[in-house]
Amino acid sequence: MKLEFIEFDIDWPSDLSVFDLKNFILSELMNYGEPLRWAITSLTSHSGETIQKISIEAVVIIHHGKKNINTNLN
């Protein structure tokens, strides 16, 4: 097991409510590992567009040899 710092951008779909944003971000983070800590570091709106770009910084746990990652995150 090891910790890894990651940074990435995701597009916030226009049909996704702010109430569903946390679960959307967590599902994206699970592609990298189990999220330990994460934060939205910036939000960029493009003029004339409803999709916004979200910048994320996170520390994830990388499990070596394990396929089951805990998805019950709060």
Q: How far is CA 20 from CA 27, 35, 48, in A?
A: 11, 17, 23
Distance CA(61)–CA(24), nearest Å, equals 19
Range list of β-strands (E), 1-74: 2-12, 34-45, 52-62
Domain boundaries, the chain: 2-62
Distance CA(68)–CA(48), nearest Å, equals 42
- Report pLDDT digits (tens) over 20-65: 999 999 999 999 999 999 999 998 887 766 668 999 999 999 988 6
Instruction: Name the pTM for this structure.
Output: 0.77
CATH 1.10.10 corresponds to the domain 2-62: no
